[in-house]
């Protein structure tokens, strides 16, 4: 809405706390696509993602109305943290689901990512295929590993921010990333997929 143009998410949240329902509508418009994409990326099922998304916003509304939000300058992190907790609650409810967690002693090895160059169309096509392959491989990772990869490379969050949102230590976040990279390399090798981008 035009009247909220230029206002931060944090300011909108505080306006809603004071009784302005239109401010919440604007907040929802601004954040729903990003939040749903994050949830969908972790759970891989549209119906489940939709349920978790709705549950997340019910909790957001409840917490805002009960004064559990203070303007910390990071509304989207607060929102993502609630979504993360809803996702973890959903996984806990699943029977027979066992996800192996990495050891706390693992740390992240050096990681470098080549940038996609658009100089030649052939390179673009190769790079597009590589990115599709990477996405397919990421989809096969266990949820905690997929989540940390998504937050790090798609949302560009630091490991400190990932740790804060997911409620695990930085070492655990680093360990999950390390396991994700090992698993992605292993799957790429098994399927003869070349993950190097061309420049």
Tens-digit pLDDT profile for residues 45-99? 898 999 899 889 888 988 888 888 877 778 888 999 999 999 988 888 875 555 4
> In this structure, are residues 157 and 196 in contact, taking their beta carbons and an 8 Å threshold?
no
Mean pLDDT of 107-115: 37
pLDDT of residue 1: 59
Alpha-carbon distance of 7 to 116, in angstroms, equals 34
State CA 20 to chain mean position distance: 29
pLDDT of residue 126: 52
Alpha-carbon distance of 11 to 82, in angstroms, equals 19
What is the model's pTM? 0.59
Tokens 């996405």, residue located: 135
Query: Between these two residues, 31 and 181, which has the higher pLDDT value?
Result: 31
pLDDT of residue 89: 87
Rounded to 5°, angle at Cα 40 from 196 and 168: 80
Mean pLDDT of 187-191: 80
Which pLDDT band holds residue 157 (cuts at 50, 70, 90)?
confident
Share of the chain above pLDDT 90, in %: 18
Flag whether pLDDT at 117 surpasses 70: no
> In this structure, are residues 80 and 52 in contact, taking their beta carbons and an 8 Å threshold?
no
pLDDT of residue 38: 92
Instruction: Dump strand ranges (E) for 29-185.
Output: none
> In this structure, are residues 4 and 12 in contact, taking their beta carbons and an 8 Å threshold?
yes
Tokens 């809405």, residue located: 1
Query: Between these two residues, 38 and 129, which has the higher pLDDT value?
Result: 38
Alpha-carbon distance of 191 to 193, in angstroms, equals 5
Mean pLDDT of 15-34: 90
């Amino acid at each position: 809405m035009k009247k909220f143009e230029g206002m931060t998410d944090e300011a909108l949240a505080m306006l809603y706390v004071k009784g302005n329902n239109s401010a919440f509508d604007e907040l929802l418009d601004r954040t729903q696509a990003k939040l749903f994409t994050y949830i969908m990326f972790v759970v891989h099922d549209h119906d489940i993602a939709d349920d978790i998304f709705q549950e997340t916003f019910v909790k957001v509304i409840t917490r805002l109305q009960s004064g559990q939000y203070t303007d910390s300058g990071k509304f989207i992190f607060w929102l993502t943290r609630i979504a993360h907790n809803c996702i973890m609650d959903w996984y806990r409810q699943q029977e027979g689901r066992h996800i192996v967690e990495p050891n706390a002693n693992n740390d992240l090895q050096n990681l470098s990512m080549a940038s996609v160059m658009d100089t030649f169309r052939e390179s673009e096509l190769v790079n597009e295929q590589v990115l599709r392959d990477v996405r397919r491989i990421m989809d096969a990772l266990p949820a905690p590993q997929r989540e940390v990869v998504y937050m790090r490379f798609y949302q560009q969050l630091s490991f400190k921010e990932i740790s804060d949102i997911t409620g695990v230590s930085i070492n655990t976040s680093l360990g999950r990333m390390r396991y994700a990279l090992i698993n992605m390399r292993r799957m790429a090798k098994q399927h003869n997929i070349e993950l190097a981008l061309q420049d």
